[in-house]
Amino acid sequence: MRWGGRGTIPALDLAAALAMVATAWLVGRQYAPTSWGADPVAYGLTAVVFLPFALRRRAPVLVLATSTAALAVFLALGYVQLALNFWGPVLLLYTVAALRPPRTTAACTAAVALTLLWAALVTGLPWYIAMAEAVVIPAVAWAMGNVGRELALRNRQLAVLTERLRTEQELRTERALTEERLRIARELHDVVAHHMSVIAVQTGLAKYVFDDDPPTARAAVDTIGATSREALREMRRLLMVLRTDDEPGDTALTLAHLPELVERTRAAGLPVTLDLAPPEVERLPPGLQLCAYRVVQEALTNVIKHAGLAATAVRVRREADRLTVRVANEPGPPSTGDAGTGHGLLTMTERAALYQGTLSAGPRADGGFVVELTLPITPDEKAPTI
């Protein structure tokens, strides 16, 4: 019941006002035994009672006051045949209750009740019936209008909440996209850093023995080619996640891929041993396995960067409530390559935190270095997947 414009009158309200005027005239003219006959004053005041209904959405209180005043004048002039005139203020009281606050509606209800009481007494009704009409009819109009007002208010509040939820959903979506981009960036960093480190070592080796030991140089070049192709395959698998709806199991790296990683690292010249019991870890969640795989990959990359070709041992153990990954290298001469930016340990720590795990990294007493990852296994994660 909201006003739709400031310069126009809703056609429905105008049609309703004209229909009520015509109906009230017809009832007043044909009512027996005391009809209005041809009295123009009765018809004119009746028109003033109902015609303001056309403007009820624009100025409901003023319209109600006009209609009630016209009915009061009608009664003051001694007309005892009301026809339908007393319904004009009642209907407009409903409009006021639907559009205005309760305090304003209360004052309007009191005015309408007094007018209806006067009209009931004028028509000769007993005082108790007159009192009942004067109380019950305005109260019902107020209650119905107030229900409509509260529903409209709740609808507006619901619209605001819906818009707020939509905005929050968009923000959550943007945040999720940003986090996914960061995750992809970390994955790309791990892939590129590991394989480029291997390529750098093999390139230096090939250059060093290129003239004196062609077979070794050729083997280094072959390793460079194989490592480059593997890097491209991993990057392709990673980027496919962004543009396919297939099952992620085809693109995710697991602990079952650790032997391949170790073989590639051995081919690069780093002596690595792997202690892994696949049946114990193959049923772990893919995300947990990917986290462990990336930590091993980053740790081996750091060995190549910072400890040269020092002997390294990788051990993966699944216990009752946790998965433990340990990468330890013997002391060795420092690598001549770039020392990097130091983001490797930070990346591994962040990965562990994503799964409520812990990561410790530090030098050993004999001069080597050890990285140990511990990931908790929840009861749901212990059950085998089907």
Strand partners, 273: 313
- Cα 11 to Cα 5: distance, rounded to the nearest angstrom: 12
152's tokens: 């409209």
Provide CB contacts within 8 A for 265, sequence distance 6+.
Answer: 198, 272, 300, 304
Query: Mean pLDDT per segment of 10 residues, for the chain of length 386 residues?
Result: 53 83 82 74 87 83 88 84 81 86 84 84 80 83 82 86 84 75 70 73 78 79 76 65 46 81 85 84 79 90 84 90 92 57 72 86 89 83 41
Residue of 257, 261, 252 whose CA lies nearest to 286: 252
- pTM score > 0.75 for this model? no
Query: Are 186 and 347 within 8 A, CB to CB?
Result: yes
- Cα 361 to Cα 371: distance, rounded to the nearest angstrom: 4
Q: What pLDDT shows up at residue 328?
A: 94
Amino acid found at 233 = R
Q: What pLDDT shows up at residue 334?
A: 57
Amino acid found at 297 = Q
Give the CA distances from residue 257 to residues 252, 261, 281, 295, 385, in Å, rounded to whole numbers and listed in that order.
10, 7, 12, 13, 19
What SS3 state is found at 331?
coil
Altogether, the residues listed in the chain come to a count of 386
Q: What is the CA radius of gyration of the chain?
A: 43
List the domains of the chain with CATH numbers. 11-166 (no CATH), 167-382 (3.30.565.10)
Q: What pLDDT shows up at residue 359?
A: 93
Question: Strands 358-363 and 369-376, how do they pair?
Answer: antiparallel
Q: What pLDDT shows up at residue 358?
A: 92
Q: What pLDDT shows up at residue 313?
A: 94
Q: What pLDDT shows up at residue 201?
A: 78
